[in-house]
């Protein structure tokens, strides 16, 4: 029992990653749009778990708040607003589905082929392993503190530009979604 | 701590599922969700490389990508609602306003 728990703890990232892949597959394959959104939700929750596993605590919590809390609810609202019964008549998948799937499969095979040694080779595995020892300053400060120093000191200008973009998107969304005569 | 290869592999698989979804679905909403999934796969890569290099730049930019994705969803869903009002459908086959 303890052995099993230890193994689960060691492979937590793999478990979350597989959950994310499963949620994404459900999202793409589901016929009902609400089921798709649920698959998306599962994928986003699992991604938050992945972020937590690779030592990005702040990003994991932000992922939970932004995606699971905000974006999924927005998607559900729009699914509720638009009527989807007409979409079912012509089928949910495009005509080019087989070709597209073959293309995506070829992409996967090509990637694995090119990076075969990087991914599965024993010699390369050592070099690319995550090195927590590198984060000397970060361990003392904690993830959120370190991130805030980066955001508000080093990358202040991109951060401010992002806030302007968010404002523009807010105004744009209101203008696009309002009715003509108002 | 997982190895870098595993992180890269999972992120690439998520990205390719997103690409496949964009290519095969007719529903605009699901295409938007697939775009979000691709952005998330890129985020996973950014965070993994930030951890690998021991700096914070990757995480900072992943946070910015997340904010940008939120803006994209807001505008995209507004466009979907406007489109539904105009065409009474959200299938990409019906959206051919620019067709000559």
For B23-42, the pLDDT digits (tens) are 998 889 999 999 999 999 99
Q: Which residue has the higher pLDDT, B36 or A31?
A: B36
Mean pLDDT of A4-30: 89
Domain assignment present for residue A106? The answer is: no
Q: Are residues A148 and A75 in the same domain?
A: no
Is residue A77 in a domain?
yes
What CATH number is given to the structural domain containing A18?
A: 1.20.120.1200
Residue A127 lies in a domain: no
User: What are the φ/ψ torsions at residue B25 (nearest 5 degrees)?
Assistant: -90, 150
- From chain B residues 63-92, the ones with a CB under 8 A of any chain A CB are 63-64, 66-75, 77-82, 84-85, 88-92
Cα separation of B14 and B39, whole Å?
A: 10
Q: How many domains does chain A have?
A: 2
Tokens 């993830």 label which residue?
Answer: A143
- The string of pLDDT tens digits covering residues A116-133 is 776 666 644 554 455 555
In a domain, A143, yes or no: yes
Q: Which A residues in the span 113-172 are in contact with B, Cβ-Cβ below 8 Å?
A: 115, 118-120, 124-125, 128-132, 134-136, 138, 143, 146-147, 149-151, 154-155, 158-159, 162, 165-166, 168-170, 172
Per-residue model confidence (pLDDT) at position A158 = 92
Tell me whether residue A115 is in a domain: no
* Nearest Cβ partner for A130 among B3, B9, B21: B3
Residue finishing a domain among A85, A120, A150: A85
Strand partners, B27: B91
Q: Which positions ≥6 away from A130 have C-beta within 8 Å?
A: A54, B1, B2, B3, B4, B7, B48, B51, B52
Q: What is the ipTM of this complex?
A: 0.93
CB contacts, 8 Å: B65 with chain A: none
Percent with pLDDT over 70 in chain A:
81
Domain that holds residue A1: 1-85
B63 burial (CB, 10 Å; 0-12 / 13-18 / 19+) is buried
Architecture of domain B4-87 in this structure = Orthogonal Bundle (1.10)
| Res B100 pLDDT > 80 | no
């Amino acid at each position: 029992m303890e052995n099993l728990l230890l193994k689960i703890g060691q492979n937590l990232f793999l478990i979350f990653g597989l959950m994310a892949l499963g949620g994404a597959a459900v999202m793409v394959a589901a016929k009902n749009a609400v089921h798709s959104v649920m698959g998306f939700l599962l994928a986003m929750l699992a991604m938050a778990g992945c972020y937590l596993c690779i030592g990005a605590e702040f990003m994991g919590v932000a992922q939970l708040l932004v995606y699971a809390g905000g974006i999924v609810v927005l998607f559900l609202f729009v699914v509720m607003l638009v009527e989807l019964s007409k979409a079912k008549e012509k089928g949910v998948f495009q005509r080019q589905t087989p070709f597209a799937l073959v293309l995506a499969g070829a992409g996967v095979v090509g990637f694995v082929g090119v990076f075969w040694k990087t991914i599965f080779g024993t010699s390369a595995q050592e070099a690319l392993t995550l090195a927590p020892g590198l984060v000397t300053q970060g361990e003392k400060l904690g993830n959120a503190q370190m991130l805030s120093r980066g955001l508000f000191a080093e990358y202040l200008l991109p951060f401010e530009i992002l806030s302007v973009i968010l404002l523009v998107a807010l105004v744009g969304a209101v203008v696009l979604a309002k009715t003509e005569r108002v | 701590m997982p190895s870098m290869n595993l992180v890269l592999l999972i992120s690439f698989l998520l990205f390719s599922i997103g690409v496949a979804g964009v290519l095969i679905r007719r529903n605009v909403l699901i295409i938007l969700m697939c775009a979000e999934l691709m952005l998330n796969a890129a985020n996973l890569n950014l965070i993994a490389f930030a951890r690998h290099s021991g700096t914070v730049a990757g995480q900072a930019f992943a946070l910015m990508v997340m904010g940008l994705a939120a803006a994209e969803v807001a505008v995209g869903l507004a466009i979907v609602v406007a489109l539904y009002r105009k065409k009474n459908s959200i299938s990409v086959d019906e959206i051919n306003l620019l067709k000559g």
